[in-house]
Structure 1
Amino acid sequence: MSGNMVIIHGGGPTAVINASLYGAVEEAKKHPEVGRIYAAIGGTGGLLHKKLLDLREIPQEELDLLLTSPASAIGTSRDHLEPEDYAAMVPVFEEFGIRYVLLNGGNGTMDTCSRIYEQCCAHGISVMGIPKTMDNDIAVTDHSPGFGSAARYMAVSTAEVCADVRGLPIHIVVIEALGRNAGWVTASSALAADCGVGGPDLIYLPERAFDEAAFLRDVQELIDRKGCGVVVASEGLHDADGKPIVEPVFQVGRAVYFGDVSSHLANLITKKLGYKARSEKPGLLGRASIALQSACDREEAVLAGKLAAEAVVRGESGKMVGFRRLEGEPYRIEPMMIEIEQVMLHEKGMPDSFINEAGNGVTQAFLDWCRPLLGGPLPRLISFTGREEVRS
């Protein structure tokens, strides 16, 4: 079946979403049955408004820059779509001769992918999903493109803060990590220890209900033992009733703008324990950093785009590309095709085996699982504190 292709981005971008775009475009070019390779500029809304760009017309030297460009080069969206919007897409596909549809995104986008697939089944249009999320919360697949780079950023940035606190040990620093309901990015901060100047002392994940009294006991013990320290906390922390510990600033459907969790926790330390504390919140820097992009993440993102394009051209539809991790060393994965209904809006949290018994840190099993995704050794840092010779 010959026809044109369209690639659509959805949800929050990552440091490698453009790498998946690159992989899909380069693969599509190899197939003579694929005519134009459209990008929907601005996500699903761009598609509905017929804002399409033929990527075959883009010079190769510009396409090559996709591998090292953050965010979404074609624009993305969090559009709320009604049933009539999905129905309206089919006439657009037919008007532009589109027979192959690729959607690159996370849980919400895979739900959109499923609904578009349902609309397209009777029209000879094939639909495939490409996983993308820094949160790493897409079900079934071992991990998702976007996470490895966010994890590398979090690990290195936390190590830099740890070095700062080690050099001037006068306070507790609370770092807030992105991650709505899953603590994968927060947990990756533990790999800061690989840089050689220590890692975070305490890590709090949304997979465990936050207990303020236990938190303050943990921090007081840290103050008594070291007089300083680094705490990493998820933006999605909630109490035993599921209520966020800081009221969200804004919420519509799945879109949540969380309150300032790191500031709240630093204020708790200062007010309740009478000790100096400060907060740090990398925010979008944690998902947009090309300087700390993971090579492994980039390569797997390209592979995901390539495999999706290849599959849709050979007639597969209603699926998402996923990765299965193979046992043993060195780290290896094998691709798989996952039925789209298995992943749409099914969020994958951290398993119990990756969280320590106290609920304020991670296990060695998590470190071993996560380390290969960071794309190589982290930069080595040095500190001479603790080596001094003390004489009476």
Structure 2
Amino acid sequence: MYENVLIVHGGAPTAVMNASLYGVIKEAKDSGVCRHVYAARGGTQAVLTKNFIDLLTIDEQTIEQLPFTPASWIGTSRFHVSDEDYAMMVEILLAYDITGVFFNGGNGSMDACGKLAKAVKAHPQARQKGIRVVGIPKTIDNDLAITDHAPGFGSAARYLASSVQELSQDVASLPIHVCIIESMGRNAGWLTAAAALAKTEESVGPHLIYVPEVAFDEEQFLDEAKCLYEKHGGVVVVASEGLRTKTGEPIVKPIFQVGRSVYYGDVSAHLCNLVIQRLGIKARSEKPGILGRCSIAFQSDVDREEAVLVGRAAVKAMLEGRSEVMVGFERIGSEPYLCRTILIPLEEVMLHERTLPVEYIKNAGRIDESYLTWCKPLLGSALASFPKRGL
């Protein structure tokens, strides 16, 4: 009995998305039963246009480069799929004799994965054929439900922590301004909180970290920034792009929104303007943005290895007859770090956004030590070590 499988990438890419693609390809080859491993070139819309490539025809040298290649090698999208589209997808799966489908993505992709699985169950021929649908997690926001974490997060967290660590040294060297770094993370502060791993001594940043789970208080921010500036001279602040007031309004009105996709205004620039105008202190804004999710230079080795692992686990689950599940992680321990893969019903994941738990937040502007214990292993090898400032 042979299998033909299809993998689809959805949503924003990460530094290890191709590592999961590599895991799917390698496990499919090792199984000895996969005749074709199709990839949709350009996300879900490519399924409807039948824009497929057979990854088993790609040379081995290229395949071996995938775990160290940023973004999505096969292309991704934020294409909105209608109910009619799902029905059409099922017909295409049947036409290509595809028996297994993998969606690699975040909340939206897991929703699409679950809806396709339901469309398969509603189609007598597809149901009889036993088409299986499995989710492969991916998100820098780390907001997928149930799983301890998702591939993509560790590398983005390493980039942010390392960048904040380096910038904090610069600000401490020339302590004349407040520097504000804006982090991605629409509703969840997992990534923003990772900046706390950069903290090594009291006088060096980051000094304040603001996550979207805590209402942003403008006056409190200005008071703390002023006090810290008077004490240290240079202040480093890390702020989530999704900060909101106590009424739930974004502190900077989004400049564009389509469905779940929100393009926020410049939060870091807004906070800098407040510091300059209200406090009369020099301020600079930094917004890594996409750089923070595509960096191979700061790719976490743990993140890369786990991304390969979930790709392989998804193929194994499909070949064992499992469907309507997402591969996830269950943490066994943090010191030493150990996780195992688990299978989570898609209905428990679909559009269930997991935010940063309150126990990881000390108060507005500060992150609890328990978060650091949880997060640190995901960054892989140790961050750079700098001597304590003795001047």
With structure 1 as the length reference, what TM-score do the two structures score? 0.96
SS in 1 for 2:330: strand
Instruction: Check the 8 A contact 1:102/1:129 in 2, yes or no.
Output: yes
Pairing 1:64-213 to 2, within 5 Å after superposition:
64-121=64-121, 122=124, 123=126, 124-193=130-199, 198-213=204-219
Pick one of 356, 372, 376 that aligns with 1:367. Answer: 372
- 1: CA distance, partners of 2:325 / 2:353: 17
- 2: CA distance, partners of 1:224 / 1:194: 20
Pairing 1:281-300 to 2, within 5 Å after superposition:
281-300=287-306
Instruction: Check the 8 A contact 1:196/1:380 in 2, yes or no.
Output: no
- 1: CA distance, partners of 2:103 / 2:93: 14
- 2: CA distance, partners of 1:81 / 1:150: 28
- 2: CA distance, partners of 1:23 / 1:68: 13
- 1: CA distance, partners of 2:284 / 2:355: 28
Task: State whether structure 2 residue 385 is matched by structure 1 residue 380.
Answer: yes
SS in 2 for 1:180: coil
How big is the shift at 1:327?
A: 3.2
User: What is the aligned partner in structure 2 of residue 311 from structure 1?
Assistant: 317
C-alpha spacing 1:326/1:97, structure 2 compared with 1 (3 Å): same
Runs (4+) off by over 4 Å: 194-197
- 2: CA distance, partners of 1:104 / 1:229: 39
SS in 1 for 2:80: coil
Pairing 1:314-333 to 2, within 5 Å after superposition:
314-327=320-333, 329-333=335-339
How big is the shift at 1:197?
A: 8.7
How big is the shift at 1:214?
A: 1.1
C-alpha spacing 1:64/1:194, structure 2 compared with 1 (3 Å): farther
SS in 2 for 1:71: coil
SS in 1 for 2:155: helix
- 1: CA distance, partners of 2:70 / 2:387: 30
User: What is the aligned partner in structure 1 of residue 247 from structure 2?
Assistant: 241
SS in 1 for 2:31: coil
C-alpha spacing 1:168/1:328, structure 2 compared with 1 (3 Å): closer
Deviations 1:179-217 (A, max 9, x none): 000011110011112599943000000000111111111
User: What is the aligned partner in structure 2 of residue 17 from structure 1?
Assistant: 17
Pick one of 341, 346, 349 that aligns with 2:352. Answer: 346
- 2: CA distance, partners of 1:284 / 1:104: 19
Task: State whether structure 2 residue 51 is matched by structure 1 residue 45.
Answer: no
- 2: CA distance, partners of 1:3 / 1:330: 39
Deviations 1:107-145 (A, max 9, x none): 000000000000112412100000000000001000000
Paired AA for residue 85 in structure 1:
D
Instruction: Check the 8 A contact 1:196/1:382 in 2, yes or no.
Output: no
Structure 2, unaligned runs of 5 or more: none
Structure 1, unaligned runs of 5 or more: none
Instruction: Check the 8 A contact 2:205/2:235 in 1, yes or no.
Output: no
Paired AA for residue 160 in structure 1:
E
Report the aligned-residue RMSD: 1.4
How big is the shift at 1:314?
A: 1.4
Instruction: Check the 8 A contact 1:195/1:378 in 2, yes or no.
Output: no
Deviations 1:272-315 (A, max 9, x none): 11111010000000000000000000000000000001111111
Paired AA for residue 59 in structure 1:
D
Deviations 1:60-107 (A, max 9, x none): 110011110000000000001111011110111111111000000000
Instruction: Check the 8 A contact 1:163/1:197 in 2, yes or no.
Output: no
Instruction: Check the 8 A contact 1:159/1:195 in 2, yes or no.
Output: no
SS in 1 for 2:209: strand
How big is the shift at 1:166?
A: 0.8
- 1: CA distance, partners of 2:244 / 2:334: 36
Range moving further from structure 2, 239-248 or 168-177: 239-248
- 2: CA distance, partners of 1:75 / 1:126: 22
User: What is the aligned partner in structure 2 of residue 274 from structure 1?
Assistant: 280
Pairing 1:205-224 to 2, within 5 Å after superposition:
205-224=211-230
SS in 2 for 1:327: strand
